[in-house]
Amino acid sequence: MSDEATESPREYRQTPYQAPAGAAEVLLVRHGASEPSRPGAPFPLVDGQGDPDLAPEGREQAELLAERLGRERIDAIYVTTLRRTVRTAEPLARRLRLEPRVEPGMREVHLGEWEGGLFRHKVAEGDPIAQRLWAEERWDVIPGAESSESLEARIREAIDRLAKAHPDGRIAVFSHGAAIGQALAIATGSRPFAFVGPDNCSISRLVVQDGQWSLRGYNDIAHLPHSAPQPLT
């Protein structure tokens, strides 16, 4: 019998995903639930943007997130200029003994004349401009708001820069709903608002290398109490 006849056939098995050498894993964490907006009591502004603190449930979410990610290897923590990301990151930073770094490029979209909490009121009331915003998927239908092009450019620049600073590393970037939605739209080439509105304290995961972005997870809330599987009916 020939050697060829006795050789085992070649097998090409499926293998688990591995990030390419030199890539950075970017964990995009939305801040915990923030304080409610009330008529006649606008949020304080930081550089023209509403800056509410965390609500009590947001602080609880931040602690649960810290329990989840505190068991992981994380090389750096980034927050924005807005305190809801700073407060959300604090429990994890204490556990890991890391000093959060401020990354202004990952701040929330600027809502122009609807800053200070007014955006929530307009959406809840079904304002015609709010309806147009969702239909056209552009933030700048709001008077004075940041353009979609500006938002995309700064999010792309910030994430590419952070990834380049952490080759073969994993970083946690505490950010905001529209900013995270924009990042995931960039990664997937989706509609602008396809990923807008991740849950508070959710984790979304990108792998980034040399301008190439891969989405590896979206809106992970397994650490939160309301994350039990729900029926599909």
Q: What is the pLDDT of residues 107-130, one digit of tens each?
A: 999 999 999 999 999 999 999 999
- The pTM assigned to this predicted structure is 0.92
| Confidence at 5, pLDDT banded by 50, 70, 90 | low
Are 224 and 64 in contact, with CB atoms under 8 Å apart?
yes
Is 70 exceeded by the pLDDT of residue 62?
Answer: yes
Instruction: Judge whether 138 lies within some domain.
Output: no
Q: What is the pLDDT of residue 8?
A: 76
pLDDT category of residue 232 using cuts at 50, 70 and 90 = very low
pLDDT at 6 > cutoff 70: no
Q: What is the mean pLDDT of residues 61-89?
A: 97
Q: Does some domain include residue 77?
A: yes
- Helices (H) and strands (E) counted in the chain, each on its own, are 7, 8
Mean pLDDT of 187-193: 97
Q: CATH number of the domain that 40 lies in?
A: 3.40.50.1240
**Residue 7 confidence class, pLDDT cut points 50, 70, 90:** confident
H/E stretch holding 182 reads: helix 177-188
- 184 domain residue, yes or no: yes
pLDDT given for residue 226 in this prediction: 72
Domain extent, residue 54, equals 20-110+147-219
Give me the pLDDT at residue 9, please: 85
Q: Is residue 126 part of a domain?
A: no
The two tokens of residue 199 are 């849950």
In a domain, 132, yes or no: no
Cα angle value 71/212/182 (rounded, 5°): 75
Q: Note the pLDDT of residue 233.
A: 39
- Average model confidence (pLDDT) across the chain: 94
3-state secondary structure 47-76: CCEECCCECHHHHHHHHHHHHHHCCCCCCE
Query: Residue 84 — pLDDT band, cuts 50, 70, 90?
Result: very high
Check residue 116 and give left, alpha or beta (phi > 0: left; psi -120 to 50: alpha): left
* Whether pLDDT at 11 is above 60: yes
> Is pLDDT of 204 > 90?
yes
Residues in Cβ contact with 201 at an 8 Å cutoff, skipping those fewer than 6 apart: 29, 30, 31, 32, 33, 58, 61, 62, 64, 65, 88, 221, 223, 224
Would you say residue 196 lies in a domain?
A: yes
Q: pLDDT-based confidence at 227, cuts 50/70/90?
A: low
- Structural domains in the chain (count): 1
Task: List Cβ<8 Å contacts ≥24 apart for 217-223.
Answer: 218/184, 222/68, 223/64, 223/65, 223/67, 223/68
> Counting every residue, how long is the chain?
233
Would you say residue 2 has pLDDT above 70? no
Q: Are 75 and 178 in contact (CB under 8 A)?
A: no
Tens-digit pLDDT profile for residues 128-147: 999 999 999 999 999 999 99
Question: 96 in a domain, yes or no?
Answer: yes
d(CA 108, CA 223): 24
Say if 118 falls within a structural domain. no
Residue range 6-17: mean pLDDT, rounded: 85
